[in-house]
Amino acid sequence: MTAAVAIVCGLLGLAVGSFLNVVIYRVPRKESVVRPRSRCPGCGTRLADRDNIPVVSWVLLRGRCRTCGETISGRYPLVELGTSALFVAAALRFGLDWVLPAYLVFFASLVVITFIDLEHYIIPNRVLYPTLFVSVPLLVLAAAAQSEWGNLERAVIGAVVAWAFFLILHLISPRGMGFGDVRLSFLLGLFLGWLDLRHVFLGVFLGFLLGSIVGLVLMALRRRNRKQHIPFGPFLAAGAVIAVLAGSSLLSWYKPS
């Protein structure tokens, strides 16, 4: 049964990833994500349906536009495959559970936030607010369907605790911790808190750990100096994904005896 759910989620992830590519490209450029149809950024030709199939079209066209030959970024198939992999992982983690749709929305949103933050150094409200608008009702629905009101309560506490913690960091160092990260922490706290509060601490800790390691490596390679900004959103997102998928085993492994 779980295998069937995983397959369905994997295919859904490819289609959703295709839409996320549109969101990643258009939201920072203040364009509508609904219309017009996808165009080649090089020549403006509208994509035919056969050139709009996730991953397959990019491979068949060898990463080039059919009309003008302009290179199409490898980010497109990467986002589609990545979203698909995350959806499969979520399906294997939660199975056929009422809370699964909420976590699919959460993971999809983290993909968008990661790629927009990497390119533009922002975490747009136009991504965060719709995510909360969709996922909060899904969490309430899951709590109601399975009488998991305790999970919902922990989710709210996790969101507030994470948000307050990042707000303090932001007030101490506004340049080090942008307000977008503070808003993102609310979303992370919500979904990690649903699992339990230890997952919130683990996810945030992993985010800082990954950010520090990559920051130090980049500095050592002289790709960045101390003053240059490294977007923090992708690390928080990665920490949260690891905490959701592997948090329980990590937490049971780290048990002071």
Least distance (Å) from Zn ion to the CB of residue 203?
Answer: 40
65 part of the interface to Zn ion, by CB under 5 A: yes
Window of 21-29, 58-66, 78-86, 93-101 that interacts with Zn ion by CB under 5 A: 58-66
Residues 240 and 232 sit within 8 Å (Cβ to Cβ): no
What's phi and psi for 171, nearest 5 deg?
-70, -35
List residues bridging with 71 in a β-sheet: 64
At 38 the three-state DSSP class reads: coil
DSSP string, 111-128: HHHHHHHHHHS---HHHH
Q: How many residues interact with Zn ion (rule CB under 5 A)?
A: 7
What is the DSSP track for 171-224?
HH-TTTS-HHHHHHHHHHHHHHHHH-HHHHHHHHHHHHHHHHHHHHHHHHTTSS
* Contact pattern from residue 166 through residue 205 relative to Zn ion, giving x for each residue in contact according to CB under 5 A and a dash for the rest: ----------------------------------------
For residues 65 and 204, which CB has a smaller minimum distance to Zn ion in the complex? 65
CB closer to Zn ion, 70 vs 153: 70
Residue from 68, 145, 213, 217 touching Zn ion (CB under 5 A): that is 68
User: Min. distance of Cβ 82 from Zn ion in angstroms?
Assistant: 24
Q: Which of residues 98-157 bind Zn ion (CB under 5 A)?
A: none
Interaction between residue 63 and Zn ion (CB under 5 A)? no
Which residues between 69 and 108 bind Zn ion (CB under 5 A)?
70
Q: Between 67 and 248, whose beta carbon lies closer to Zn ion? A: 67
Binding mask 205-244 for Zn ion (x = CB under 5 A): ----------------------------------------
Angle, helix 233-253 to helix 197-220, in steps of 10 degrees:
120
- The answer to whether residues 134 and 174 touch, using CB atoms and an 8 Å cutoff, is no
- Please say which residue, 77 or 203, places its beta carbon nearer to Zn ion: 77
Q: How far apart are CA 58 and CA 35, in angstroms?
A: 21
Task: Choose between 41 and 95: whose C-beta lies nearer to Zn ion.
Answer: 41
Helices (H), the chain: 2-26, 56-60, 75-94, 100-120, 125-146, 149-172, 179-195, 197-220, 233-253
Binding to Zn ion (CB under 5 A): which residues in 28-47? 40, 42-43
60 or 68: whose CB is closer to Zn ion? 68
First to last CA, the chain: 37
Question: CB-wise, 71 or 173, nearer to Zn ion?
Answer: 71
Interface residues toward Zn ion, by CB under 5 A = 40, 42-43, 65, 67-68, 70
